[in-house]
Structure 1
Amino acid sequence: MPTPPANQDATPKVTRTRFAATELGTRERIMAAVMAESALALSINATLGRHVPRVHLFADSSRIDNDLAQLTNLSPYKLNGQKAHSMVLGLLFNMTVHESYDWFLLAKDSTYINPFVLLRMIDTMNWNEPVVMGEAAEDGSGRCRLDTGMLLSNPAMQILLKQRNICNLITSPTDDDQLAFEKCIQAATNLTCKTLHQGIRYEVWRGAERADSPAAHDSIEDWKHSKAFSRALAVPRLLSDADASALHDYFVRVEMQRADREISKMEAELSRLAEDEARETGEAISWPPALPPYAKPPNRYQVPTWEYFTMTEIFRSEPNQNVRRLEGKDFDDVAEVVVAARQQVETEEPELEFVQLRNGYRVFDPRRGMDYMIDLTYRKTVNEMLEMENQGDGDGEAVHEESLKEIVVERRVHVSRMIASTQLMNQAPYVKEDTDVTVVIPVAIENEVLPARKLLARQARLCLSPTEETRKTRMVVAVFPEVDTRSVTAISNDMEELKRRCKRSLLETDVLSVRLAASTAGQGTVAAAALDDAVDRYGANTIYLLLSPHADVQKEFYDRARINTIKHYQVFFPVPFVEYHPTISGMEMTEKEEKETSTSQAREAALSRLRDGVEPKRKRALIVQKDHGRFDSQDFSCFAVYGVDYVAARAKLGPSDRRNDLIAAFLGQDAIHVLRAVEPTLRIRYHKRHCDMESVDTDDIARCLESKKENVAAKDQLAKLLFHEK
């Protein structure tokens, strides 16, 4: 505990380490230190670096060419009359790597190291005792050969770096660098080279060392028939980067075959264990193997929500609507599942007569797919023996009669729709946060001028942040012919003022004049016309962010638009927070006015303003809260897209097609994905929304009408407005 200064609180405070790994003593598994002497170092760095946590190269500065100089993990040194081991060990000590890794591999760049065998070795052996593994020298001195690689444990490396100064006393000026390095490691650690340690052998393949042998890449076809070659850790004496690449390709194929064999073996073992468990417990084998059965949540916080359905309706877990008609893709899904369930039942019991679907439930599991529970009602005819007593002249006599009776039978069937057509991505697309963004704000009618100017004022306030913005942003307002010239002048003045305030932010401003008549087009057509002119003017190699003039954004939204928009791969359609009608939601009143006004007075005043058609005025700040608005998943008015992707998708829409939004242009494409995500930093102010009933797409009209209806107010707010509270 450090002693506090005199002018501070004398209570001692514990100084904690910066990283948890340092405090817990957690280390990486292995580091490879490669002696770079030629261009082969590039190949070793590329092949080994993909699998080992860290590869670091050490090279004499006189041997570094332009290609080696580009590597960021290269440490150059000057000999100045010393041996190479003195400089390398000094650099390793200064880098303090001996505190961060369990194992250390020392090798020359002319030696290929099989990373798969290496990782399996260090995962099997214990690192907590000093050991030096490798191939022993032929002279019987007990030292390891550097040209075939050396594997040192953490304690051995600690001793080596601590006693490295001994090396200057035992090396001879006539020794070459490799021999001096080998003697240094043996003298400083006082350890004998081990070829076998804890049952693990250090395998070296020497097929390339014969003088008359061809190059390694020409000999692989002959070597691959030897089992010793497939399990070799080191292959020395490489001649070119073609040798290293060919060896790595071969060992990758060997590792893939090994992984396939292990997977097949594991699948067979899982099937056997599942059958044994099913016999012991009496339960059916779960599908797929090794996955938890359906409908069993991992804990009480992750309980899945089942959707109930019949053949006509489906009950969803939604905040504003719980029951919907079963139609479209949902109807096709349910019909197919019911047919599959009926086939299962009627195959086992053909005497049953189907009556109806009684209940149905479904839930989606990302690991299993869609699971269903289907309750079916059947009718079954059975023979019933009736015993009657016949009273005649004599004694009573029993008479047996046979009658038919129908009974109702219930059957429950579990159905699973497996996930199909899955695809593994080899690598994630590369995304940068410093991409230029062009923000396009279409202003089609006069009523959108004031909201657009408020959005520009909001942008001006964002520019006053103390941090300097180095990324380029361009604000473009697309003005249509129906906007008054005085309003255009006011917007131009606002843009000039915005540019003056945002000098530190590399902000550009511009006003575009669009020729399309907004009165003859929908909102989607207006957006398309604005983007068409913007892409033609500023090029197709930048991100275009289309914003509604009624939008209210925060600075973080631009960063998310940059990250989530990927060229030739993904467009970003955020789900905005849409404001309710301020009069109905109570945002026209301040908190003080709300407390002083009774509920009945507030209700009558709100109804009066609604009847008179008074434009609502907002007196409170819009925050993301359930009484102020909702996240509208049907709103596609704002999106971010690269110009080249927009041009490719624009061809799907006709030049005069009337649309309410542009989401249809990006649907049904194999190359472009649509990302939808809830975005709290994007908010849409309340405005009177118009749906173009002449749109070419009926789904487009239905989507707009549903969004318009749901964004008026919450159900409880409408109830308080329409009904008297008792």
Structure 2
Amino acid sequence: MLKTGVKFVSENLYLFMGIVIGLYISTFVSTSLDISCEISKSQYLVNNKMAQEIINNSVNNLAPKILPEKPKGEKKSKFTRPRYYSTELGIREKLFVGIFTSEEHVNTQALHINKTIGHLVNKIKFFITAQYKLKTKFNLTGLVGFTDSRSKYRPFQVIKYVGDTFPQDYDYYFFSTDYTFINIHRLKDLVNKISVSMDVYMGTPVPDSSYCNIDAGIVISNSVLQAMRSNLEWCIMNAVTDDYSENLGRCVFHSIGLSCQESIQDQSVTSYKLKHFELDKTLHTLIKSENFQNTVTVRPVLKDKDFYILNAYFLKQRLEIHNEDIAKLSASLEDSWPPGQRNGAKPATRFDMPRQLYFNMSHLFFPDDFTVIREHTEPELLDINNILEDIKANVAQHYPKQYEYRRLVNGYKTFDLSRGMDYIFDLGFRDLHTGKEVVKRYEVCKPLGNIEFIPAPYVTENTRVTIILPIEEDKVHIGMHFLESYGAAIMDKKEKTFLMLVFLYQYNSSSKGSTDKFQLVKDFVNKATTKYKNDDAKAGWVSIRLPESQTPLTFENTKALRYAVVDLALKKIGLNSLNLILDVYSNITIDFLNRIRMNTIENYQIFSPIPFRQYDPLISLYPRLDVNKMSGHFDREEYKYISFYGRDYVAARKKYQPFVPLIRIDNDIVKLLNDISRNKGNLFEMFVQYGNGLHCMRATEMNLKIIYHQTNEHGKNKFYGNNAQLAKLLLTKQDSIPELL
């Protein structure tokens, strides 16, 4: 076999040598071609590495340092609400202005542009080439220096700087050169009328081209800027000219497919090109041109004083427009009463009619759905007396020595949120000539005063809510029902909460082993702790041993126990927590907890929600716990549900100590059994009296529902049913009710 192989090779030796030589020559030729192509290509294009160097290393130290973007991971974090509404809603400032200038023009052209428009725009920046620290030579603020002096890359350096520094701060970006005067009021009116949802690349086209002329000014939208920022490498590699307009135009077209737009939504960036540069001599001729009157930019402006001449003219033009508007508004004031005051809001339906309240000199009738009559408050009475004095002065002026005021016959007032308070007074006057009483009607309007911005403390929906839930021995089964619904509605959704259960043991009850009445609840807490140990939902408990008493101590016969529960629970929770007091009959949702977070503000406000209490299902015949007039009613008499911060509670509690002693250990609870302290259990009342300026807020809360249960507390509305349901019960069961026979 070896002989056969040798023979085969010897017979085909020349074939193998030809293959080897051919492979060698082909390798040499391909390498030479690659080198020649690379040299030829480098004369016109920039490779990716060089493009990155241009856009990353060209900004001077004075400009903010731009860090490379970090790769985004796949892990999703919980949504954190921003500090400002505008951030979450995507509300941005309207206009950014960028001026391409040079070192030679910083103290001349750039300075004059800054003086004429700098105070009228949201942000203005001047872009120059600088090889040293700018602060040592120039006093103009807003300078951004680039160390790369190659002019064809300047537009892309600017786009990178603006895109990285102000990516979501502005709706529109306007770029021009330092030889361009900008009619800034006209420009702002223009961008205010364009929808922010549109892709905008608008200006004056370069002749015989599809690019916008940067000398005339270019407006681009935020979406276009972001698209250009994402395609900067391509734009740099394909920059073949020093013309800023063409380089920007090519980049925009590649990034988003737009050519220069002359008009969008009937708005256009018009530019007037000067032919004569002695504006102090030719301005009177220019103002006759309609194009000049409506222009956004004027170019080229070569003399320093011409910037101020143009600025003065366009300001005068705008002043005349404002004066015309004022004249029109003044003429329309005759159609309203009082002059200049807007008419009241027109109600959409009859149910939206503003309530008209009847009053006399001492009382107000039917001020709300629950009150028939009440006395005037001190401010209301002062308001009425002041108006009466003004009316009497008006009558004395118009009817001198003819009428004498006697009495208020009728009074009506209506409050309109868009207008103010409107009064109608029917006043009785004695006619000094005849002695008879004359009734005159006067309408009085008290418009809303100056609108004030009230600073509100910063609150967020990310705060942990600590729920303090006291459970008595006979309420364990109901407590388990609460825990089951709480686990499904709150803990399963990993809401940021801490459930602190407070077990109230009677003095002779066992707290260990199988005889522990709270063992079921403790087992639930242990399982929940294991199940949610890595989540934000936490749970725990604290036990309180009640003192010996002739009758078992409960919240109904000893209201002060509510103070004891909070005093002892806060020792385990801490003072920095946001605390919410509930009971076992509560039914809550995540929306309710979010309102607790937003309405409870440390050192500023506490919150007591008005719950929706269920009617007796046997009477209402409505078993579902829905917010419905047939199923229940908002209980305005209930104050036990309250939220507060620990430090605010401690500050008020120390001042309230003379009435209800502080409870530091279980044995101190016996101090609450005296006649003075025993029936004081309203935490809301304590905050009102001793809250040291805390705002005590009350509001109906549809997501805090209370399951129907019987209570023996004195003065409580039993909430059996509404009037119609109770009337129906009386009519159907009157034979079995002795009092009706």
Same-fold status (TM-score > 0.5): yes
Offset of residue 691 of structure 1? 5.8
Matches within 5 A, 1:56-71: none
Contact 1:571–1:639 (CA under 8 A) maintained in structure 2: yes
How has the CA–CA distance of structure 1 residues 169 and 629 changed in structure 2, closer, same or farther, with 3 Å as cutoff?
closer
* Structure-1 separation of matches of 2:240 and 2:395: 88
Uncovered stretches (5+) of structure 2, i.e. residues with no partner: 1-54, 67-85, 99-124, 132-147, 165-169, 207-211, 252-258, 263-268, 274-290, 548-552, 661-676, 735-741
Offset of residue 648 of structure 1? 4.2
How has the CA–CA distance of structure 1 residues 275 and 423 changed in structure 2, closer, same or farther, with 3 Å as cutoff?
closer
- Counterpart amino acid of 2:444? V
What SS does structure 1 have at the residue aligned with 2:352?
coil
1:272 aligns with 2:302: no
Contact 2:58–2:157 (CA under 8 A) maintained in structure 1: no
Match of 2:717 among 706, 709, 714: 709
Offset of residue 548 of structure 1? 2.8
* Structure-2 separation of matches of 1:424 and 1:621: 43
Residue equivalent to 1:302: 352
* Structure-1 separation of matches of 2:649 and 2:324: 47
Residue equivalent to 1:653: 656
How has the CA–CA distance of structure 1 residues 677 and 155 changed in structure 2, closer, same or farther, with 3 Å as cutoff?
closer
Contact 1:133–1:152 (CA under 8 A) maintained in structure 2: no
* Structure-1 separation of matches of 2:324 and 2:474: 67
- Counterpart amino acid of 1:423? E
Match of 1:663 among 673, 684, 689: 684
1:679 aligns with 2:701: yes
1:644 aligns with 2:647: yes
Offset of residue 515 of structure 1? 7.1
Match of 1:286 among 338, 342, 347: 338
Contact 2:466–2:579 (CA under 8 A) maintained in structure 1: yes
Residue equivalent to 2:578: 543
Contact 2:499–2:540 (CA under 8 A) maintained in structure 1: yes
1:171 aligns with 2:240: yes
* Structure-1 separation of matches of 2:154 and 2:226: 16
Residue equivalent to 1:105: 174
TM-score, normalization: structure 1? 0.56
What SS does structure 2 have at the residue aligned with 1:316?
strand
* Structure-1 separation of matches of 2:631 and 2:567: 35
- Counterpart amino acid of 2:465? V
Contact 2:341–2:419 (CA under 8 A) maintained in structure 1: no
* Structure-2 separation of matches of 1:685 and 1:301: 31
1:184 aligns with 2:279: no
Contact 1:314–1:326 (CA under 8 A) maintained in structure 2: yes
How has the CA–CA distance of structure 1 residues 537 and 262 changed in structure 2, closer, same or farther, with 3 Å as cutoff?
farther
Offset of residue 424 of structure 1? 0.6
How has the CA–CA distance of structure 1 residues 716 and 267 changed in structure 2, closer, same or farther, with 3 Å as cutoff?
farther
* Structure-2 separation of matches of 1:662 and 1:455: 23
**Deviations, residues 397-440 of structure 1 (Å, cap 9, x unaligned):** xxxxxxxxx433222222344545853146x6544333211101
How has the CA–CA distance of structure 1 residues 317 and 338 changed in structure 2, closer, same or farther, with 3 Å as cutoff?
same
* Structure-2 separation of matches of 1:501 and 1:623: 28
* Structure-2 separation of matches of 1:115 and 1:43: 30
1:475 aligns with 2:499: yes
- Counterpart amino acid of 1:565? T
Residue equivalent to 1:491: 518
Offset of residue 151 of structure 1? 3.7
What SS does structure 2 have at the residue aligned with 1:574?
strand
Residue equivalent to 2:636: 633
- Counterpart amino acid of 2:708? Y
* Structure-1 separation of matches of 2:649 and 2:225: 57
* Structure-1 separation of matches of 2:560 and 2:443: 47
Residue equivalent to 2:537: 507
Offset of residue 309 of structure 1? 2.8
Offset of residue 474 of structure 1? 1.2
Query: Over aligned residues, Cα RMSD in angstroms?
Result: 6.1
How has the CA–CA distance of structure 1 residues 228 and 158 changed in structure 2, closer, same or farther, with 3 Å as cutoff?
farther
Offset of residue 460 of structure 1? 3.1
Match of 1:325 among 362, 374, 390: 374
- Greater Rg, structure 1 or structure 2? 2
Matches within 5 A, 1:28-427: 37-38=59-60, 40-42=62-64, 51-52=93-94, 84=153, 104-106=173-175, 119-120=188-189, 122-123=191-192, 132=203, 144=214, 150-151=218-219, 171=240, 179=242, 181=244, 184-185=247-248, 196=272, 199-202=294-297, 269=327, 272-273=330-331, 276-277=334-335, 285-286=337-338, 289-293=340-344, 297=347, 300=350, 302-311=352-361, 313-316=363-366, 318-319=368-369, 321=370, 323-326=372-375, 328=377, 332=381, 336=385, 339-340=388-389, 343-344=392-393, 347=396, 348-349=398-399, 351-380=402-431, 382-383=433-434, 406-419=435-448, 422-425=451-454
Contact 1:85–1:180 (CA under 8 A) maintained in structure 2: no
* Structure-2 separation of matches of 1:130 and 1:581: 67
* Structure-2 separation of matches of 1:677 and 1:186: 58
Matches within 5 A, 1:559-598: 559-582=594-617, 584-586=619-621
Offset of residue 630 of structure 1? 0.5
How has the CA–CA distance of structure 1 residues 229 and 656 changed in structure 2, closer, same or farther, with 3 Å as cutoff?
farther
Match of 1:454 among 467, 481, 489: 481
* Structure-2 separation of matches of 1:263 and 1:548: 65
Contact 1:440–1:534 (CA under 8 A) maintained in structure 2: yes
Offset of residue 626 of structure 1? 1.4
* Structure-2 separation of matches of 1:571 and 1:674: 5
Offset of residue 682 of structure 1? 0.8
Offset of residue 227 of structure 1? 5.2
* Structure-1 separation of matches of 2:202 and 2:528: 66
- Counterpart amino acid of 1:196? Y
**Deviations, residues 366-399 of structure 1 (Å, cap 9, x unaligned):** 233332222233443544xxxxxxxxxxxxxxxx
Offset of residue 675 of structure 1? 4.3
Offset of residue 290 of structure 1? 4.4
How has the CA–CA distance of structure 1 residues 438 and 124 changed in structure 2, closer, same or farther, with 3 Å as cutoff?
closer
**Deviations, residues 120-149 of structure 1 (Å, cap 9, x unaligned):** 4534899999754799xxxxxx9647xx98
Offset of residue 556 of structure 1? 3.3
Offset of residue 494 of structure 1? 0.9
Contact 1:34–1:55 (CA under 8 A) maintained in structure 2: no
Contact 2:570–2:646 (CA under 8 A) maintained in structure 1: yes
Q: Which moved more, 1:326-335 or 1:533-542?
A: 326-335
Contact 2:482–2:584 (CA under 8 A) maintained in structure 1: yes
**Deviations, residues 223-249 of structure 1 (Å, cap 9, x unaligned):** 9xx95798999xxxxxxxxxxxxxxxx
Contact 1:577–1:630 (CA under 8 A) maintained in structure 2: yes
Uncovered stretches (5+) of structure 1, i.e. residues with no partner: 1-32, 64-78, 96-100, 136-141, 173-178, 211-222, 234-253, 279-284, 384-405, 588-619, 693-704
* Structure-1 separation of matches of 2:706 and 2:56: 58
* Structure-2 separation of matches of 1:422 and 1:463: 40
**Deviations, residues 530-589 of structure 1 (Å, cap 9, x unaligned):** 3333333222333211113332223432233234334444433222101234554456xx
Offset of residue 365 of structure 1? 1.7
Residue equivalent to 1:439: 467
Contact 2:473–2:504 (CA under 8 A) maintained in structure 1: no
How has the CA–CA distance of structure 1 residues 362 and 481 changed in structure 2, closer, same or farther, with 3 Å as cutoff?
farther
* Structure-1 separation of matches of 2:214 and 2:224: 13
Aligned residue pair count: 530
* Structure-2 separation of matches of 1:230 and 1:437: 58
Contact 1:315–1:324 (CA under 8 A) maintained in structure 2: yes
**Deviations, residues 141-188 of structure 1 (Å, cap 9, x unaligned):** x9647xx9854589999999999989867736xxxxxx4645524788
* Structure-2 separation of matches of 1:539 and 1:263: 63
* Structure-1 separation of matches of 2:559 and 2:467: 17
